[in-house]
Structure 1
Amino acid sequence: MTPSKTTALIGCLFLLITAGFAATPPDWLGTAQGLLAEVGKRYGPEARGRVDAWLGLIAQNQGKPEPEQIAQVNAFFNRLEFVGDDEHWGQADYWATPVETLATNGGDCEDFSIAKYFTLRSLGVPEERLRLVYVKALKLDQAHMVLTYTATPGAVPWVLDNLDPAIKPATQRTDLQPIYSFNVQGLWLAKERVGGPERIGLWRGLLARMGVPPGQPR
């Protein structure tokens, strides 16, 4: 499977899911089956099974209350193995697509957070309720990434994290020191928007591979 073919399949599938297909129409099914076939060919049957389970997760949780969707997605990706980028991808920093993370059966905190973000967007959770947040994990004294969900404007965000499997309000995560947050719509320092998402090179590259234009949420 060539990188360009993989990217096209991933991008097409993501665009179909985020367009609101909840009942698996023929075009969606064909794209999904094509993706599964390619994943199986390159990574093997176990990888295909993990991606198939992810597609099932999306199909089964369409239309459910957002707290239930969030709990299911957080638990699903937290089961994967933590692997650093040097070992996993042979480079210092790489942000994987959800399919890459699932096919290779692991990733780091960025990969888990990104996979949760795109899966929740595929389930219809509004863009403005989700942010990827770079933090300092104080107990580990190192950089870390989490996903946050804010149910209503001004509410305390809930934190989806691979370090702590329990989804907790940010006020209870005193072990995390926020640095900046972002999504497709923008980049924020604290609560101040300081620019567009294109300012983050790795995020820009990931969105390009998935066919998602920065600043144009789906």
Structure 2
Amino acid sequence: MKKAIVAIVIIFSYLTSFSTATIPKNFSQKKFDEFTKKYGEKASKRLLLWDDLIESAKDKKLLYKLKMVNDFFNKMPYKLDSIHWKKTDYWASPFEFLGTGAGDCEDYAIAKYFTLRQLGIEDRKLRIVYVKLLRKSSRYEQAHMVLTYYHKPNATPIVLDNINKRLKLATKREDLKPVYSFNASGLWRAKNKGKTSQRVGNNNLKSWKDLMSRF
């Protein structure tokens, strides 16, 4: 009799812990159920890992937040838009990125941007940057996107990148040549070989508007 009671308690504890683990804390249960229905059980585990990341990073110091978010998304496989989405250029939302399990450079930058915003980092301190990347083994510059964090408006930003995966100050990334940058509130044009930037107005980028329409 005692063995039967112990077995029931163990089974109940297991089921309770499992159901608790599948309840998201940073988005609705409805969103989670819709996501699972669309992308499947395997993808839903990635979504819960993202939820766990946000929850565990909330009380961390700033640099830990940047590193945790950068490391988390850099584990995702890289895949070109032309192969993944059958389009020349497609900016995926974090849900699409996690749902499909792959993406290209702008998808990493976008996912990191929105995760850090979720963690309370102000929009004015974050910019997604379109850059030209110079590879050591090539004479040609490659189009690329990274996320940058500015502690102060005129400070040298920290770069979050999916190619060079370590957090580095922009001055240490001589392989990157900024062209323009943006966040939800503005658009900037790079000046002086990317050393400074000039605000040119609101973010009216077509790809950004399309992205926001899918949130």
Tell me the TM-score normalized by structure 2. 0.81
Taking CA–CA contacts closer than 8 Å with sequence separation of 6 or more, which of the two structures ends up with the larger relative contact order?
1
Q: 1:154 Cα deviation (Å)?
A: 1.7
Conserved? CA contact 2:26–2:51, under 8 Å:
no
Structure 2 letter corresponding to 1:101: F
Conserved? CA contact 2:78–2:104, under 8 Å:
yes
% of aligned pairs identical? 47
Query: Structure 2: how far apart are the matches of 1:122 and 1:181?
Result: 20
**Matched residue of 2:129: which SS?**
strand
Please, which of 197, 200, 206 is the counterpart of residue 201 of structure 1? Answer: 206
**Matched residue of 2:214: which SS?**
helix
Partner of 1:75 in structure 2? 71
Query: Structure 1: how far apart are the matches of 2:25 and 2:113?
Result: 22
Say whether 1:57 aligns with 2:53.
yes
Partner of 2:81 in structure 1? 85
Superposition pairs of residues 106-185 of structure 1, within 5 angstroms: 106-139=102-135, 141-185=141-185
Query: Structure 1: how far apart are the matches of 2:26 and 2:150?
Result: 34
Q: 1:63 Cα deviation (Å)?
A: 3.1
Query: Structure 2: how far apart are the matches of 1:86 and 1:30?
Result: 32
Conserved? CA contact 2:132–2:143, under 8 Å:
yes
**Runs of at least 5 residues in structure 1 that lack an aligned partner in the other structure:** 1-27, 211-218
Conserved? CA contact 1:63–1:123, under 8 Å:
no
Give RMSD over aligned pairs: 1.5
Q: Bigger radius of gyration, 1 or 2? A: 2
Partner of 2:193 in structure 1? none
**Matched residue of 1:94: which SS?**
coil
Cα distance change on mapping 1:129 and 1:31 into 2, 3 Å: closer
**Matched residue of 1:128: which SS?**
helix
Query: Structure 2: how far apart are the matches of 1:32 and 1:177?
Result: 40
Conserved? CA contact 1:157–1:170, under 8 Å:
yes
Cα distance change on mapping 1:30 and 1:173 into 2, 3 Å: closer
Partner of 1:95 in structure 2? 91
Aligned length: 182
Where do 4+ consecutive residues of structure 1 move more than 6 Å?
none
**Matched residue of 1:136: which SS?**
strand
Cα distance change on mapping 1:185 and 1:164 into 2, 3 Å: same
**Runs of at least 5 residues in structure 2 that lack an aligned partner in the other structure:** 1-23, 191-196
